Amino acid sequence: MADLTTLFANKIRCPNPFWLASGPPANCADQVIRAFDAGWGGAVWKTLGVPITNVSSRYSSVDLNGQRMMGLNNIELITDRTLEVNLREIEEVKKRYPDNAVIASLMVDSTREAWHEIVERSEGAGADGLELNFGCPHGMSERGMGSAVGQVPQYCSMITEWVKEVAKTPVLVKLTPNITDIRPVAHAAKQGGADGLSAINTINSITGIDLDTFVPRPNVDGKSAHGGYCGPAVKPIALHMIQQIAEVGLPVSGIGGVSNWRDAAEFILLGCQSIQLCTAPMHWGFRIVEDMIDGLKNWMDEKGFRTIDDFRGLSLPNVKEWKNLNLNYKIIAKIHPEKCIGCDLCYIACEDGAHQCIHVDPLPPRLTVTPIPKLDGPIPATPIKIPRVDEEECVGCNLCALVCPVENCITMERVDHGIPSESWEQRSA
């Protein structure tokens, strides 16, 4: 039976890798207690600092083909509750749930004294670790905090050093994706003494504009502001950046669009030691962790993995620079007639958007007219045109298989057998 027990940065132990990310679901003790009762392994408390005043409304979303909240945008800031209340609740939760991880997310003014004070008070309340919020892309960045720090490697390193001067628990630096290259800041965090990284924070966004009022969403008394984008839509960006920072060599807590156990497994395959979720529990509630635990355990049993460390990072060697990919690898599309429904989507996509190698031949004359059925007999099937792949012209781009609505109707078959591998770098040498 798979064991999901997690040891983050060799010090933070919890029953599984699923943590609530710092945000609305981890705003107070009542929520974190209910999450732990549901099975969550840890929680990163909503960011502590000088309490702010939030606006109303705060959220907007992007829906896709009937799926609600494919992407979620928020303009909510850090905690609006006093530091004293939050610390008292952290202490209460840790006493009741000593085996679960409670991480304090922190954000204060960029002075050594302010950081020393909040670190000491957070650890005094029993926090298992600290997450430095260098990623918030709105509101707080206008005050010289959040991504205003995370976009400048020198600031990131300097504040991390201040924290490490007094911290006794592991220090995680939460990175912003709103940057040209995330790696320099990740290296700066390591230089400052960070024990781990959290990535990614939310992405700058405006999700849409009301075409009647002309006000972007969310509407705050006729005005709006850019916010932080999260949810399933950002997962590909998060996976890329997780892979990028793997070179730093620090433990990583992965964040960004995780909605189910499959997503979590992908983040772990790229090296993550824990997984943080925010949008998914906001959408579906805390009980989703039950399916994530069962799903990940079942998959691990199927693959023969006993612990998370058995498969953590296995995908990293498979990510290469483009110049190192095999130029002689060749696949072509194969359409399986018995599964084809004659929708012609593959033909349209290939003809208009790809390489014009799928054709639809006319039906033979004897099949062009559907017989009129007898009133007392079965209705004969209407003949359909089966698209045909010109194998000489097919470049193996996959587009036809991606748009086909029938699973495995179009498969990609390898045809380069016996041809030696050769990369662009080798060919250019």
124, with CB counted inside 10 A (0-12, 13-18, 19+), is exposed
Distance CA 111, CA 117 (A): 10
Helix (DSSP H) and strand (DSSP E) numbers for the chain = 13, 18
Strand 18-20 versus strand 12-14 pairing type:
unpaired
In the beta sheet, which residues pair with residue 255?
276
Q: What is the DSSP string of 158-215?
A: HHHHHHHTT--S-EEEEPPS-SS-SHHHHHHHHHTT-SEEEE---EEE---B-TTT-P
Catalytic residue among 14, 28, 136, 404: 136
Distance CA 189, CA 251 (A): 12
Residue 166 has phi, psi (to 5 degrees) of -125, -15
Say which residues have a Cβ less than 8 Å from residue 400's Cβ, sequence separation at least 6.
Answer: 333, 335, 346, 349, 350, 354, 358, 389, 410
Within 10 A of 173 (CB to CB), how many other CB atoms are there?
A: 31
For 318-354, b/e burial (b = at least 16 CB within 10 A) is eeeeeeeeeeeeebbbbbeeeebeeeebbbbbbeeeb
Largest CA distance in the chain: 90
Within 10 A of 92 (CB to CB), how many other CB atoms are there?
A: 15
Asked about 136 being catalytic, the answer comes back as yes
Distance CA 179, CA 161 (A): 22
**Amino acid letter at 50?**
V
Catalytic residues, by residue number, are: 136
